[in-house]
Structure 1
Amino acid sequence: MVYKLVKYFKPYPNNDNPYLTGRDVLTVFTCAGLILFIATFVVGIRCLMDFDKGLLDAKNHDLVDINIPLV
């Protein structure tokens, strides 16, 4: 990320580059992709830490405990 920012703000002698506007778009999508990747990794680690903790009560209940009329 730091390398990308250094390359982005480095002054270029030739400003007639036809791909100059594309660099801005690629930088935005690179940063957005990196943020989404890190968020996905964090959520995955959180789910892995919560694994095998939450559904035990839901799996072990009886139909009598629910109070649903059986027709």
Structure 2
Amino acid sequence: MMIFPKSSGMQTVYFTQKTKPHVVDFLIEEKFIDADDPLIPIIAAFARQENVNEIRIRNRIQLLFH
């Protein structure tokens, strides 16, 4: 997984099929979400989707399909 800063304070976390199972752990380690965040099951389910390979973050996580 890689994090790229974007303009306007947005960061994008890119991940591959191999790293998909670790997305939530990575977001917790990098302090994008708290370990007790109630959105964790939703974020994990979103990241497991076939057509998802990035999560954009600006203050809060935005879940985007591509």
- Answer whether TM exceeds 0.5 for this pair: no
Q: Going by fraction, where is helix more abundant, 1 or 2? A: 1
Q: What is the TM-score normalised by the length of structure 1?
A: 0.31
Q: What is the TM-score normalised by the length of structure 2?
A: 0.33
Between structure 1 and structure 2, the one with the greater Rg is: 1
